[in-house]
Amino acid sequence: MIERVGLDARKIGNPLFQDLSLHVSAWGRVTPAQAPTRLGTAADLDLAFLSGQLFDRRLSLKLGRHVVFGGVARARQIDGASFGLRIVQGFGMSAYGGLPVFPRFAVGRGDAVVGGRLYYRASIDAEIGASVLQLWDGGATAQQLAGMDLRLVIRSLTLGASGAWSLIDSRLAEADVAATWQAVDSLQASIGVRRTAPDLFLSRTSILSVFASETRDGLGGSLSWQPAPNLSLLGEYHCLRFGAQSGSEGADLPSEGGNEALVRASVLALQGLTVGVQGRWLDTPSNGYVEGRIFSQWRILARLSTALDLDAFRFRDPINGHRNSYVASLSATWTFAPSWMATVSGLASVTPYFETRFEGVAKLVYRFSTRTREVLP
């Protein structure tokens, strides 16, 4: 049984802050069929913070468990404080500091983090920024990044670029340049190039950073087309390149290439019934595969829907002596009352990791919300 609780209190009356609000989101899980162990019972706090504004809303503040966005911070969850300041004529800055927060059951990395970003926003469609971040782990500096980002919209063309430089290692940690063109409402094309150095996003105190010294480069694009109201087509291709950084172990070895491609088509066959097929090809130095997939979603009635997914893989090199993998799943959802929903799902698979596997899940869900509003005189 899973219970999720949320609380939003807005425009809390006070003599100092404007738009003072409180936001809380938490969940808990109990599995009656199991003893109350770590696997059977769990709970976590997703968000819990106060936010408010000062000085005619030029300064915004947040305190508690929340997510900070922008620049090399990406989307980082912290227990701490952050602020955003609109300086003058499109210039602004933000800063944050606190303890890194990691999802329950995830591996934690870092004891403390601080960072900030300075930006200029010419309009809602044009912005450029520079940012920094420092992360400590076990009392030592684990990550130190400086980066820049840019977003520009020119009519039907959207341009975006971002990059992060590791100040500790004096090399590029990440770079991404992309362009998207919306030719017409039914046709969209994009092209992009990306480089990542996975070892620079691991803690320097982690042994995993020793085994993640390769870079990954990608160049490619995608094309999305809707030739008819009930038909959608998608095609993607990326040329990949894997190689060690200069100065690191194995840097004298030539880089190795790879390919990644995807095609997908979906059609609204009947009212409420969507059927699709997908093919994917991945080729990397470590392994590769060809995938074929069939999927469907069918809303039989207003309150009854089903979903079917059939997936098959053919690996280039055997895994545990097997080159084929098959997975099939089927689910049905019935909303039999305004707040009640029942779901039944089944899965069957034959993979290199499980010779055979069968799984069935039945869920009974009750959804409700309670709202309280404070009316100030």
Give the per-residue pLDDT at 107. Answer: 61
**Given a cut of 50, is residue 249 above it in pLDDT?**
no
Give the per-residue pLDDT at 68. Answer: 96
Residue 142, token pair as written in the block = 């684990």
Segment 28-82, tens digit of pLDDT:
877 765 554 445 577 888 999 999 999 999 999 999 999 999 899 989 999 999 9
User: Where are the chain's structural domains?
Assistant: 1-54
Mean pLDDT in residue range 283-312: 95
> Could you tell me which of 220, 219, 210, 288 has the C-alpha nearest to residue 244?
210
168: left (phi over 0), alpha (psi -120 to 50) or beta: alpha
- 35 against 151, higher pLDDT: 151
For the CA atoms of 196, 198, 199, 204, what is the dihedral angle to 10 degrees? 110
Mean pLDDT of the residues in the chain = 88
**CA distances, 131 to each of 60, 83, 165, 172 (Å):** 18, 14, 10, 15
What 8-state DSSP symbol labels residue 211? Answer: G
Mean pLDDT in residue range 118-124: 95
The residue to which tokens 């100040």 are assigned: 167
Q: Which of 152-156, 167-171, 261-265 has the lowest mean pLDDT?
A: 167-171
- 369 against 348, higher pLDDT: 348
Q: Are 115 and 95 in contact (CB under 8 A)?
A: yes
Mean pLDDT in residue range 351-366: 88
CA–CA separation, 54 vs 20, rounded Å? 10
Q: Are 202 and 213 in contact (CB under 8 A)?
A: no
What 8-state DSSP symbol labels residue 188? Answer: E
Give the per-residue pLDDT at 140. Answer: 85
Burial grade of 114 (CB within 10 A; 0-12, 13-18, 19 or more): middle
CA–CA separation, 143 vs 133, rounded Å? 8
pLDDT confidence of 252, banded at 50, 70, 90?
Answer: very low
Give the per-residue pLDDT at 34. Answer: 52
pLDDT confidence of 248, banded at 50, 70, 90?
Answer: very low
Amino acid occupying residue 42? A
pLDDT confidence of 369, banded at 50, 70, 90?
Answer: low
CA–CA separation, 192 vs 237, rounded Å? 11
Give the per-residue pLDDT at 216. Answer: 86
Mean pLDDT in residue range 113-142: 94
Segment 175-231, tens digit of pLDDT:
999 999 999 999 999 999 999 988 787 766 665 555 555 688 999 999 999 999 999
Most confident of 96-100, 196-200, 211-215, 283-287: 96-100
**Element at 2 (helix H, strand E):** strand 2-9
